[in-house]
Amino acid sequence: MKRLWAPWRMEYILDENKHDSCLFCDISKTGKKKVEDKKNLILYRGKHCFVLMNRYPYNSGHLMVVPYFHTPDFGGLSDDILFEFIKTVNRSTDLLKKALSPDGFNIGLNFGKVAGAGMESHMHLHIVPRWTGDTDSMPIIAETRVMPEHLNKTYAKLSRLFSKMELS
Protein backbone atom coordinates (compact mmCIF):
# COMPACT_ATOMS: atom_id res chain seq x y z
CA MET A 1 0.00 0.00 0.00
CA LYS A 2 1.28 3.48 -0.88
CA ARG A 3 0.91 6.35 1.54
CA LEU A 4 0.44 9.98 0.70
CA TRP A 5 1.60 12.43 3.34
CA ALA A 6 0.03 15.88 3.54
CA PRO A 7 1.06 17.03 7.05
CA TRP A 8 -0.09 20.64 6.60
CA ARG A 9 -3.72 19.48 6.22
CA MET A 10 -4.01 18.55 9.92
CA GLU A 11 -3.12 22.12 10.89
CA TYR A 12 -6.00 23.33 8.71
CA ILE A 13 -8.44 20.76 10.08
CA LEU A 14 -7.64 21.55 13.70
CA ASP A 15 -7.37 25.34 13.26
CA GLU A 16 -10.52 25.92 11.23
CA ASN A 17 -12.51 29.00 12.30
CA LYS A 18 -10.50 29.66 15.46
CA HIS A 19 -9.59 33.28 14.72
CA ASP A 20 -11.39 35.88 16.83
CA SER A 21 -10.08 38.68 14.64
CA CYS A 22 -9.57 39.00 10.89
CA LEU A 23 -6.72 36.77 9.75
CA PHE A 24 -5.85 39.00 6.77
CA CYS A 25 -5.84 42.19 8.88
CA ASP A 26 -3.65 40.47 11.48
CA ILE A 27 -1.20 39.19 8.86
CA SER A 28 -1.01 42.55 7.08
CA LYS A 29 -0.10 44.31 10.34
CA THR A 30 2.92 42.12 11.06
CA GLY A 31 5.15 44.70 9.42
CA LYS A 32 7.58 44.34 6.59
CA LYS A 33 10.06 42.12 8.37
CA LYS A 34 11.33 39.41 6.06
CA VAL A 35 11.04 36.79 8.81
CA GLU A 36 7.37 37.58 9.49
CA ASP A 37 6.51 37.79 5.81
CA LYS A 38 8.12 34.40 5.17
CA LYS A 39 6.26 32.89 8.15
CA ASN A 40 2.97 34.29 6.78
CA LEU A 41 3.88 33.37 3.18
CA ILE A 42 3.63 37.01 2.04
CA LEU A 43 5.32 37.49 -1.32
CA TYR A 44 4.57 41.14 -2.03
CA ARG A 45 3.36 44.26 -0.20
CA GLY A 46 1.98 47.12 -2.25
CA LYS A 47 0.50 50.42 -1.12
CA HIS A 48 -3.10 49.12 -1.09
CA CYS A 49 -2.87 45.32 -1.22
CA PHE A 50 -0.58 42.36 -0.64
CA VAL A 51 0.00 38.92 -2.15
CA LEU A 52 0.40 35.76 -0.13
CA MET A 53 0.47 32.07 -0.79
CA ASN A 54 -2.53 30.06 0.35
CA ARG A 55 -1.39 27.96 3.30
CA TYR A 56 -3.95 25.29 2.29
CA PRO A 57 -3.64 25.40 -1.51
CA TYR A 58 -5.73 23.78 -4.19
CA ASN A 59 -2.60 23.57 -6.32
CA SER A 60 1.07 24.54 -6.09
CA GLY A 61 1.47 28.29 -6.42
CA HIS A 62 -2.08 29.07 -5.20
CA LEU A 63 -1.95 32.79 -4.36
CA MET A 64 -4.32 35.28 -2.81
CA VAL A 65 -4.38 39.01 -3.52
CA VAL A 66 -5.80 40.90 -0.54
CA PRO A 67 -6.58 44.60 -0.10
CA TYR A 68 -5.49 46.07 3.24
CA PHE A 69 -8.92 47.72 3.51
CA HIS A 70 -11.24 45.42 5.47
CA THR A 71 -14.42 44.77 3.48
CA PRO A 72 -16.39 41.63 2.56
CA ASP A 73 -16.78 42.76 -1.08
CA PHE A 74 -15.92 45.69 -3.36
CA GLY A 75 -17.82 48.12 -1.10
CA GLY A 76 -15.64 50.94 0.16
CA LEU A 77 -12.71 50.26 -2.16
CA SER A 78 -11.47 53.42 -3.83
CA ASP A 79 -10.50 53.59 -7.50
CA ASP A 80 -6.83 53.66 -6.44
CA ILE A 81 -7.23 50.46 -4.43
CA LEU A 82 -9.17 48.73 -7.21
CA PHE A 83 -6.59 49.73 -9.80
CA GLU A 84 -3.68 48.43 -7.74
CA PHE A 85 -5.66 45.30 -6.87
CA ILE A 86 -6.24 44.31 -10.51
CA LYS A 87 -2.71 45.33 -11.55
CA THR A 88 -1.37 43.11 -8.76
CA VAL A 89 -3.49 40.19 -10.00
CA ASN A 90 -2.19 40.72 -13.52
CA ARG A 91 1.46 40.97 -12.44
CA SER A 92 1.09 37.94 -10.14
CA THR A 93 -0.16 35.77 -13.00
CA ASP A 94 2.79 36.96 -15.11
CA LEU A 95 5.23 35.95 -12.38
CA LEU A 96 3.52 32.59 -11.85
CA LYS A 97 3.83 31.91 -15.59
CA LYS A 98 7.54 32.68 -15.40
CA ALA A 99 8.18 30.63 -12.25
CA LEU A 100 5.89 27.61 -12.67
CA SER A 101 4.87 27.47 -16.37
CA PRO A 102 1.19 26.63 -15.76
CA ASP A 103 -1.10 25.83 -18.69
CA GLY A 104 -3.80 28.15 -17.33
CA PHE A 105 -5.35 29.69 -14.22
CA ASN A 106 -8.52 29.67 -12.16
CA ILE A 107 -8.99 33.20 -10.84
CA GLY A 108 -11.90 34.04 -8.59
CA LEU A 109 -13.61 35.85 -5.77
CA ASN A 110 -16.02 34.22 -3.33
CA PHE A 111 -18.40 36.70 -1.70
CA GLY A 112 -20.40 35.14 1.14
CA LYS A 113 -20.29 31.74 2.81
CA VAL A 114 -22.78 30.18 0.36
CA ALA A 115 -20.43 31.18 -2.49
CA GLY A 116 -17.57 29.27 -0.86
CA ALA A 117 -15.86 32.08 1.03
CA GLY A 118 -13.84 30.55 3.85
CA MET A 119 -12.85 34.03 5.02
CA GLU A 120 -16.03 35.94 4.21
CA SER A 121 -15.38 39.13 6.20
CA HIS A 122 -12.31 40.23 4.19
CA MET A 123 -12.39 39.99 0.41
CA HIS A 124 -9.53 38.35 -1.41
CA LEU A 125 -8.94 37.00 -4.88
CA HIS A 126 -7.61 33.51 -5.52
CA ILE A 127 -5.14 32.79 -8.31
CA VAL A 128 -4.77 29.04 -8.85
CA PRO A 129 -2.26 27.84 -11.44
CA ARG A 130 -3.49 24.86 -13.47
CA TRP A 131 -1.67 22.23 -15.51
CA THR A 132 -3.06 19.73 -17.95
CA GLY A 133 -3.72 16.56 -15.96
CA ASP A 134 -3.32 18.18 -12.52
CA THR A 135 -6.65 16.77 -11.31
CA ASP A 136 -7.37 13.13 -10.76
CA SER A 137 -9.73 11.07 -8.64
CA MET A 138 -7.81 11.52 -5.35
CA PRO A 139 -9.88 14.47 -4.05
CA ILE A 140 -13.10 12.59 -4.79
CA ILE A 141 -12.20 9.07 -3.69
CA ALA A 142 -9.71 9.71 -0.90
CA GLU A 143 -10.58 13.31 0.02
CA THR A 144 -6.89 14.03 -0.51
CA ARG A 145 -5.23 16.46 -2.87
CA VAL A 146 -1.76 15.62 -4.17
CA MET A 147 0.62 18.57 -3.91
CA PRO A 148 3.73 18.03 -6.04
CA GLU A 149 5.88 20.59 -4.23
CA HIS A 150 6.22 21.66 -0.58
CA LEU A 151 4.97 25.17 0.32
CA ASN A 152 8.41 26.32 1.47
CA LYS A 153 10.03 25.32 -1.81
CA THR A 154 7.33 27.09 -3.83
CA TYR A 155 7.65 30.16 -1.57
CA ALA A 156 11.41 30.30 -2.14
CA LYS A 157 10.94 30.02 -5.89
CA LEU A 158 8.25 32.73 -6.02
CA SER A 159 9.75 35.12 -3.47
CA ARG A 160 12.81 35.67 -5.68
CA LEU A 161 10.55 36.94 -8.48
CA PHE A 162 8.07 38.85 -6.31
CA SER A 163 10.89 40.71 -4.53
CA LYS A 164 11.50 42.51 -7.86
CA MET A 165 7.81 43.06 -8.66
CA GLU A 166 6.79 46.41 -10.01
CA LEU A 167 3.28 47.33 -11.10
CA SER A 168 4.25 49.71 -13.90
Catalytic residue set? 124
Inter-helix orientation angle 151-162/79-100, to 10° = 120
Q: Kind and range of the H or E element at 45? A: strand 42-45
Strand order in the sheet with 63-67: 42-45, 49-53, 63-67, 125-130, 104-109
CA distance 46 to 24: 14
| DSSP codes, 5-33 | --THHHHHHHHTT--SS-HHHHHHTT-S-
Length of the chain: 168
Find the radius of gyration of the CA atoms of the chain: 16
